[in-house]
Amino acid sequence: MLAGTRLARHGDRLVLRLAEGTGVFAGESVLRRVEALAASLGLEAVVEVADREAVPE
């Protein structure tokens, strides 16, 4: 499951990138957790869905 995700900081944003078609999705609890983590780091939370090839393993 984690192979279809990537968490990275880009400037003032914390970006969670999910690979499309891997069964990984941004449910409400995932969004809340990413937002809480970003807030604790003083960053803006962003969740993106990308092609499988765009999310490195």
- The model's pTM: 0.76
16 three-state secondary structure: strand
The CA radius of gyration of the chain, in Å to the nearest whole number, is 11
56: pLDDT strictly greater than 60: no
% the chain with pLDDT above 70? 72
Q: β-strands 44-50, 13-19: how paired?
A: parallel
Helix %, strand %, coil % for the chain, to 5? 35, 35, 30
4: pLDDT strictly greater than 70: yes
**Is 22 within 8 Å of 52 (Cβ atoms)?**
yes
Average pLDDT rounded to a whole number, residues 28-47 = 93
φ/ψ of 16, rounded to 5, equals -100, 115
